[in-house]
Amino acid sequence: MLRGVHTLLTSIWVVRRKKVCSVAAGSALLRDEELVKRILDAVVNAVPVPVTLKIRTGWDKQNKNAVTIAQLAEQAGIAALTVHGRTRACKFEGHAEHETVTLIKQTVNIPVIANGDITSPEIARQVLQDTGADAIMIGRAARGNPWLFQQIAHLLATGTTLPPPKSDSVKSVLLQHLEELYRFYGDLTAVRIARKHIAWYLAQAFKQPNTCLALINQAETPAEQIGRVLYAFDSLTNL
Ligand SMILES: Cc1cc2nc3c(=O)[nH]c(=O)nc-3n(C[C@H](O)[C@H](O)[C@H](O)COP(=O)(O)O)c2cc1C
């Protein structure tokens, strides 16, 4: 498995999402190809592990330079490249495009991973077919839905679709996820972090607005939170 050091181009993104443009980090760096080259060379030469890179398609729609950056990445010794099919200026608006990945695949030989708005097994298969990408990366669609990966693998392997998970499976995985959150973050922080995850899992299980969420969000302890989650599953399953 590639043990990627997610380079400055992406890792600063999380911590300083609002600041990446003012400090020329994150996707803002795409504007300065020479600096990208220097950073990639420096990182690849500084560490003994494979370095992977994740980029957007360019600065804005008029300045899509992902193909050039991909070439620089390959020359620098980057082990694999992920491309989110939006420009920096697109933020998260509109739909991701994957034509840029097709172009990159025709230009470089390192593994290329397509990313952006891949939300179902069918879309995953289409993107892989259309682009020739070596893999796909999924972000938001996996929130509360870890079953998505298995569903994609199944479609790719068999051409048939797996049924959605039963609410009992969703409940059991959610409870396990909650226990891990409490263990990792400690009760106080975990209860707060867990709220968004609970909402995503419930949306996955019930495909409808959840009237129990307000009550769940007021829980202050793991025991309260779990009790209210169980109540939500019981009451919604018995509708
Ligand atoms: C909560 C969250 C955290 C993210 N963190 C990072 C990150 O650390 N580095 C990065 O390059 N992209 C990050 N992204 C962007 C995603 O990796 C991905 O490129 C984007 O969400 C588009 O893919 P999707 O449509 O599958 O979500 C993050 C996105 C979300 C929603």
- pLDDT score at 22: 53
- pLDDT score at 204: 86
Residue 54 φ then ψ, to 5°: -125, 130
Distance 157 CA to ligand 1 centre (A): 27
Bridge partners (DSSP) of residue 83 are 55, 114
Distance 58 CA to ligand 1 centre (A): 16
Tell me if 133 sits within 8 A of 104, measured CB to CB.
no
**Helices vs. strands in the chain: H and E counts, helices first:** 10, 4
The minimum-distance atom of ligand 1 relative to the CA of 54 is: 11
* pLDDT tens readout for residues 140-184: 999 999 999 999 999 999 999 999 999 999 999 999 999 999 999
User: What sign does the CA torsion over 172, 174, 179, 180 have?
Assistant: positive
Distance 143 CA to ligand 1 centre (A): 11
Residues with CB under 6 A from ligand 1: 10, 13-14, 54, 84, 115-118, 138-141
- pLDDT score at 205: 86
CATH class assigned to 8-158: alpha beta
**Alpha-carbon distances of 19 from 12, 30, 37, 191, 202, rounded to whole Å:** 9, 15, 21, 28, 33
Structural domain boundaries in the chain:
8-158, 167-237
Q: Which of 5, 115, 136, 200 to mutate to test the pocket of ligand 1 (most atoms within 8 A of CB)?
A: 115
CA proximity to 52, closest of 92, 133, 139, 110: 110
- pLDDT score at 20: 47
CA proximity to 202, closest of 181, 231, 179, 180: 231
- pLDDT score at 238: 57
| Ranges under pLDDT 70 in the chain | 1-27, 237-239
Residue 67, classified by CB atoms within 10 Å of its CB into exposed (0-12), middle (13-18) or buried (19+), is middle
